Amino acid sequence: MPQKTKKSVSPQRSTKESSLATDSYMPVSQPTKPSFFSLKNNRFVKVVIGVVLLAIILGFLARRYKSALIVASVNGTPVLRAELNERLTNRFGSQMLEALIGERLITQEAAKQNIQISNEEVTAKIAEIEKSVSGSMSLDDSLKLQGITKDEFKNQVRIQLAIDKMFTQNATTSTAEVDDFKIHPW
């Protein structure tokens, strides 16, 4: 059997014919440059998948918690909760802050003095208030008109009852003070 010998190509001959003739029995492997979009480019694929997943998650959260971001829509233009909060804070912020501080101080002092208000006491006081309001408007309508929820009203009643209990526990009047008041009415 005759042996195949490889023909040598001199560097001077670089035509297509000579290169084809010399490489006739050996496969030519051209180095391929990986495509930017190929699946072999793992980093790109991971980034694309991450971006798509992030977009899906953000879309889901935005739809689910839309009311946390948008409070109203006027002819297709959203009114953002942040804008509403900013305006309310600018207009009523100091009043609301003082009210919250006052409520916390009263609640903490009542806890220090071991004063507790039961749900039955709150319910009884609300029933008393409803009887006194029973004119042309119900208590619920009155609360709606003032923009107060039933829970907020119950909390206000609870705080007022705590104040009343603290006052009755701490208020002592001597007979001398009563006599002095009768003598010097303000």
More confident: 117 or 171: 117
More confident: 116 or 27: 116
DSSP-assigned beta bridge partners for residue 79? 72
Round the CA-based radius of gyration of the chain to a whole number and report it.
Answer: 42
Q: What proportion of the chain, given as a percentage, has pLDDT over 90?
A: 17
pLDDT band at 186 (very low <50, low <70, confident <90, very high): low
Give Cβ neighbours of residue 138 (< 8 Å, ≥ 6 apart): 130
Q: Residue 22 is encoded by which pair of tokens?
A: 């010399």
Q: What pLDDT is stored for residue 22 in this prediction?
A: 52
Q: What pLDDT is stored for residue 120 in this prediction?
A: 93
In this prediction, residues 144-155 reach a mean pLDDT of 88
pLDDT digits (tens, 9 = 90+) for 95-149: 988 989 999 999 999 999 898 889 999 999 988 888 887 777 788 888 888 888 8
How confident is the prediction for the chain on average, in pLDDT? 77
Distance, in Å, from the CA atom of 50 to the CA atom of 48, rounded to the nearest integer, reads 5
Buried (b) or exposed (e) across 46-63, using 16+ Cβ within 10 A?
A: eeeeeeeeeeeeeeeeee
Please say whether the beta carbons of 109 and 166 come within 8 A.
Answer: yes
Task: Inform me whether the pLDDT recorded for 163 exceeds 80.
Answer: yes
More confident: 92 or 18: 92
Q: Residue 11 is encoded by which pair of tokens?
A: 């560097």
Distance, in Å, from the CA atom of 23 to the CA atom of 8, rounded to the nearest integer, reads 10
pLDDT digits (tens, 9 = 90+) for 79-92: 888 898 899 889 88
Q: What proportion of the chain, given as a percentage, has pLDDT over 70?
A: 67
